[in-house]
Amino acid sequence: MEKYLIKEEALEKTREIKEADLLVGIPSFNSAHTIGHVVQAVREGLSRYFPDNRSVIVNCDEDSTDGTMDVVKNTAVNSSGAASLSHKGNHVFIIVTPCHGLPIKGNVFRTFFEIANMLNVRACLVVDSDLKSITPEWVELLMKPLLVEGYQYVAPLYYRHKYDGTITKNIIYPLTRSLYGKRIRHPMGKDCGFSGELARFYLSKDIWGTDVAKFGLDIWMTTTALANGFKVCQSFLGTKIRNAKFVNTDLSSMLYQVVGTTFNLMEMYEQVWSTVSGSEEVYTVGSQRAVGMEPVFINLDRMIDKFKLGMKELLKIWEVVLPEETMNFLYRLTYMQGREFYIPDEVWTKIIYSFAIASHRNVFNTEHLIKSLTPLYLAKLASFVRETWESSSSEVEEKIEKLCLVFEKEKEFLIKNWRVERK
């Protein structure tokens, strides 16, 4: 008998449904206040835009203690069974299942992929359970490129505050773009669409017991699609507004999880990214428009102080990792004040590439190495804020574009030093 990760009750419902065209996965954790709205928006989107398709919503819950799964069951009409679908019916099946075991996030997504595979679906999408801003149109925007236009992966494109998502802006987007040559603006977007074929491809990958499954499913899904030649696009969803939750993750741990996963993927796909030069636009669905943004608090002095403390405590690591000219610049930076505190794009690019090279060569313990990047990232963020304080969001995007071009220009530095013999 074939072994599935899916829990028995969900497995039985899946077998009763037999086949479906569309699947929407909703991972959840203590989302009772918002998940009802998400389920309703998804149901309406499926019924309004894809009425002739068999559709399944799968809520996979990560041990919530606030009754999240009960909300989904109460929200869903006909959630108790898997009755047969009429050919032209609007019926949407609901599967609600807990997910246990480590890494729990990886198990959640593996469950989505397994159900998609069992039902032989044509297209899937995944949306967060704590979204306040989701509308039925999101379903069309993420699903239609898969069903009508032949795309296999649809990344989200959000309108964000100029100081929101700064790790993506200053590290992950420029790095991923320069590595794989596609301008996916939000490569870590959690709300995405993918074909049934790609879901089966994800399921075939042996990453489920690794740190990638624990920390980095979002960037892994995007990178896997890019590196394996799947047809990708992005869809503008407007502003992403989520229910505020307390997450006990400090900046160093976040950098380790996100940057560490990206470096790990560089090892997997070296033969791909080492042959890519430059980048190209990807097809974008929907029109981008400015919308209202909530303010983001920034403490510049604290960020600069953290950098200067890092120069004292982490100097021995940085001196091994970074080129001599970069270290000389950092020494000078410690004496800069006010508006003169500035890190050029060329220096920042060398810093990120040098950390990737050091991780590849196993110069230090990976977690210790990447966490030591934190004060440098704070210095870059302080520089970024000083440069853009009076800039509009569109002007900030122009600056990010210039940074990306430097990452692409300096990629030869990465390739040349990556290929030096490991210690």
Mean pLDDT to the nearest integer, 205-219: 90
Q: How far is CA 286 from CA 145, 233, 349, 373, 413, in A?
A: 11, 11, 32, 36, 37
Q: Would you identify the CATH topology of the domain 8-285? A: Spore Coat Polysaccharide Biosynthesis Protein SpsA; Chain A (3.90.550)
Task: Report the pLDDT value the prediction gives residue 386, as an integer from 0 to 100.
Answer: 92
421 — pLDDT class (breaks 50, 70, 90): low
93 — pLDDT class (breaks 50, 70, 90): very high
Mean pLDDT to the nearest integer, 386-405: 93
Mean pLDDT to the nearest integer, 74-80: 58
User: Is it the case that residue 217 has pLDDT exceeding 80?
Assistant: yes
Task: Report the pLDDT value the prediction gives residue 246, as an integer from 0 to 100.
Answer: 46
Task: Report the pLDDT value the prediction gives residue 111, as an integer from 0 to 100.
Answer: 94
> How far is the C-alpha of 22 from the C-alpha of 33, rounded, in Å?
26
401 — pLDDT class (breaks 50, 70, 90): very high
Task: Report the pLDDT value the prediction gives residue 296, as an integer from 0 to 100.
Answer: 64
DSSP string of 314-379, one letter each residue: SHHHHHHHS-HHHHHHHHHHTT--GGG----HHHHHHHHHHHHHHHHTT-S-HHHHHHTTHHHHHH
> How far is the C-alpha of 199 from the C-alpha of 116, rounded, in Å?
7
* Domain range list for the chain: 8-285, 300-418
Least confident of 146-150, 308-312, 392-396: 392-396
> How far is the C-alpha of 64 from the C-alpha of 112, rounded, in Å?
18
Task: Report the pLDDT value the prediction gives residue 125, as an integer from 0 to 100.
Answer: 97
Least confident of 118-127, 241-250, 251-260, 343-352: 241-250
> How far is the C-alpha of 196 from the C-alpha of 219, rounded, in Å?
19
In three-state secondary structure terms, 244 is coil
- pTM for the model: 0.92
Task: Report the pLDDT value the prediction gives residue 87, as an integer from 0 to 100.
Answer: 34
Task: Report the pLDDT value the prediction gives residue 16, as an integer from 0 to 100.
Answer: 95
Task: Report the pLDDT value the prediction gives residue 88, as an integer from 0 to 100.
Answer: 43
User: Is it the case that residue 240 has pLDDT exceeding 80?
Assistant: yes
Q: How far is CA 181 from CA 27, 158, 418, in A?
A: 30, 20, 18
Task: Report the pLDDT value the prediction gives residue 423, as an integer from 0 to 100.
Answer: 47
> How far is the C-alpha of 62 from the C-alpha of 100, rounded, in Å?
7
Share of the chain above pLDDT 70, in %: 91
Per-residue pLDDT tens digits for 289-299:
654 455 567 88
84 — pLDDT class (breaks 50, 70, 90): very low
Contact 125, 113 (CB under 8 A): no
Mean pLDDT to the nearest integer, 130-134: 91
Per-residue pLDDT tens digits for 12-37:
999 999 999 999 999 999 999 999 99
Mean pLDDT to the nearest integer, 126-137: 94
Per-residue pLDDT tens digits for 41-75:
999 999 999 999 999 999 999 989 999 999 999 88
CA contacts within 13 A on the Cβ side of 127: 34
Mean pLDDT to the nearest integer, 197-205: 97
In sequence order, the β-bridge partners of residue 236 are 157
The residues near 235 (Cβ < 8 Å, ≥ 6 apart) are 141, 142, 145, 154, 155, 156, 157, 193, 284, 285, 286
Whole-number mean pLDDT of the chain?
A: 90
User: Is it the case that residue 160 has pLDDT exceeding 90?
Assistant: no
Task: Report the pLDDT value the prediction gives residue 413, as an integer from 0 to 100.
Answer: 97
* Cis check: omega of the bond before 103, within 30 degrees of 0: yes
Task: Report the pLDDT value the prediction gives residue 83, as an integer from 0 to 100.
Answer: 35
Rounded to 5 degrees, φ, ψ at 122 are -90, -35
